[in-house]
Amino acid sequence: MQPLAERLRPNTLDDYIGQQHLVGEGAVIRRMIEQKRISSFILWGPPGVGKTTLANIIAKTLEVPFYTLSAVTSGVKDVRDTIEKAKNNRFFNSSSPILFIDEIHRFSKSQQDSLLGAVEQGVITLIGATTENPSFEIIRPLLSRCQVYTLKSLEKEDLLQLFQSALKKDVILKEKNVKVEETDAMLRYSGGDARKLLNIIELVVESQSEKEEVVINDNIVTEALQQNPLAYDKDGEMHYDIISAFIKSIRGSNPDAAVYYLARMIEGGEDPLFIARRLVISASEDIGLANPNALLLANAAFDAVNKIGMPEGRIPLAEATVYLATSAKSNSAYMAVNDALQYVSQTGNLPVPLHLRNAPTKLMEQLGYGKGYKYAHDYEGHFVEQQFLPDEAEGQKFWRAQDNPQEARMKELQEKRWGNS
């Protein structure tokens, strides 16, 4: 008998749960399917949110040849063989066959290179699935040929809908007398992962297979999972809990806790580059201008791990972790760019002041581009007061110094330049 997650895998968009921003009425992927014109794209999101299912639905709806490769087990030869099959299977004027690559972030540069020609020429329509940021893992030429669509962890309502659907539609569950008392633990342990939720349901039901009535409540779910530690996996809820605890321990200036969670991830077989990337993000978001050297050290740790691998890579990871945890903290740069982005989204493309514009042509010069600009280095202290923001934004403040020695010095210098305004 297939696992519950496979038995319930939807075949149409109407049965697909979640990701309404992509597949809801009028959303981009639904429109592509309805118009039967699919372009290459990459689905980016955490495990168990429907990436593979969505690719299968697209292939079935369009009725085109569908090829699947796993980046874990496939090499360049497999990619080329599959592309050759796709060429031979394509009929005149028909849609391109779909090549779905699961965990595409694990493909090497040469493997990704081998896809470029086929994608560009339309021999295949590529659909990739990844749990990692494509900007870090996918080569730029391939990324430029694909749209990236972000899938979100399933909301509580989505998970409850899936749970009810399982009870009503599954051939095994609908024959059982299931009494639902509580769902909090089940939803919490699933961590927004549909596959994890269905695995938990199956585990809880199997643990009561001898009983006439199957009861689902928080205690029973917790006990079932504790008795079956393999129900957890490093790509599921525990993965996200531990990386969250790791980052929050750094932010909370607790090096002992941070190193403990680092050890948990290393022992669990976590990708060391995943950890290193989080350190780079933390150095920018949580330490920031209070200690700019933190970003340099985190980036150096990333490079070192990339060069030397494991197990020695644990040492620069630990060095960066302790340094970041014990460092002064500031999120002023993080807050500044968020505030500026919000302002830009509200105000749109405000015109740049004429004196700040470049004037590469005679016409632009005649129109006043660059006229009146003051070159800061010609003035005492390499500073001269002039307008930099658009007229409508003049006076807006996005960066605010926080309470640490580094930013205190920066604030003092800015006040000397601009006054207290």
Q: Which residue has the higher pLDDT, 1 or 58?
A: 58
| pLDDT for res 161 | 92
Tell me yes or no: is domain 156-231 CATH 1.10.3860.10.
no
d(CA 31, CA 26): 6
d(CA 179, CA 176): 9
CATH of 353-418, one of 3.90.550, 2.50.20, 1.10.720, 1.10.3710: 1.10.3710
**Do the Cβ atoms of 231 and 225 come closer than 8 Å?**
yes
**Residue 86 pLDDT more than 70?**
yes
269: left (phi over 0), alpha (psi -120 to 50) or beta: left
| pLDDT for res 37 | 84
CATH of 237-326, one of 3.40.640.10, 1.10.10.60, 3.40.630.30, 1.20.272.10: 1.20.272.10
Distances (CA, A) of 32 to 35, 39, 59, 62, 261: 5, 8, 12, 10, 43
pLDDT band at 21 (very low <50, low <70, confident <90, very high): very high
DSSP state of 45: -
| pLDDT for res 90 | 66
Question: Dihedral (C-alpha) 250, 253, 257, 261: value to the nearest 10 degrees?
Answer: 0
Question: Dihedral (C-alpha) 223, 229, 233, 238: value to the nearest 10 degrees?
Answer: 60
145 alpha-carbon distance from chain centroid: 19
DSSP, residue by residue, 367-411:
TTTTTT---GGGSGGG------S-GGGTT-------SSHHHHHHH
**Do the Cβ atoms of 255 and 322 come closer than 8 Å?**
yes
Window from 80-94, 224-238, 300-314 with minimum mean pLDDT: 224-238
**Residue 84 pLDDT more than 60?**
yes
- Any idea where the domains of the chain sit in the sequence? 19-150, 156-231, 237-326, 353-418
**Do the Cβ atoms of 131 and 72 come closer than 8 Å?**
no
| pLDDT for res 322 | 96
Strands 147-150 and 177-180: unpaired
The first and second tokens of residue 333, run together, are 């740069």
Window from 78-87, 171-180, 220-229, 269-278 with minimum mean pLDDT: 220-229
**Do the Cβ atoms of 161 and 155 come closer than 8 Å?**
no
In terms of average pLDDT, the best of 111-115, 209-213, 375-379 is 375-379
The first and second tokens of residue 331, run together, are 């999120």
What are the tens digits of pLDDT across the range 295-344? 999 999 999 999 998 889 999 999 999 999 999 999 999 999 999 999 99
d(CA 211, CA 208): 5
pLDDT band at 238 (very low <50, low <70, confident <90, very high): low
CATH level 3 topology of 19-150: Rossmann fold (3.40.50)
pLDDT band at 229 (very low <50, low <70, confident <90, very high): very low
| pLDDT for res 319 | 96
Cβ-count burial of 80 within 10 angstroms (0-12 exposed, 13-18 middle, 19+ buried)? middle
| pLDDT for res 421 | 60
**Do the Cβ atoms of 303 and 273 come closer than 8 Å?**
no
Q: What percent of the chain has pLDDT over 90?
A: 35
Q: Which residue has the higher pLDDT, 313 or 367?
A: 313
| pLDDT for res 210 | 79
What are the tens digits of pLDDT across the range 152-188? 888 899 999 999 999 988 888 888 888 889 888 888 8
| pLDDT for res 291 | 95
| pLDDT for res 239 | 67
Q: Which DSSP helix (H) or strand (E) runs through 414?
A: helix 405-418
**Do the Cβ atoms of 98 and 38 come closer than 8 Å?**
yes
d(CA 239, CA 232): 9
Q: Which residue has the higher pLDDT, 273 or 91?
A: 273
DSSP, residue by residue, 244-288:
HHHHHHHHTT-HHHHHHHHHHHHHTT--HHHHHHHHHHHIIIIIG
In sequence order, which ranges of 207-236 are alpha helices (DSSP H)? Answer: 218-227
What are the tens digits of pLDDT across the range 255-268? 999 999 999 888 77
pLDDT band at 360 (very low <50, low <70, confident <90, very high): confident
| pLDDT for res 159 | 92
| pLDDT for res 232 | 38
In terms of average pLDDT, the best of 132-141, 317-326, 348-357, 406-415 is 317-326
| pLDDT for res 191 | 78
**Residue 248 pLDDT more than 90?**
yes
Mean pLDDT across the chain, nearest whole number? Answer: 87
What's the whole-number mean pLDDT along residues 373-389? 91
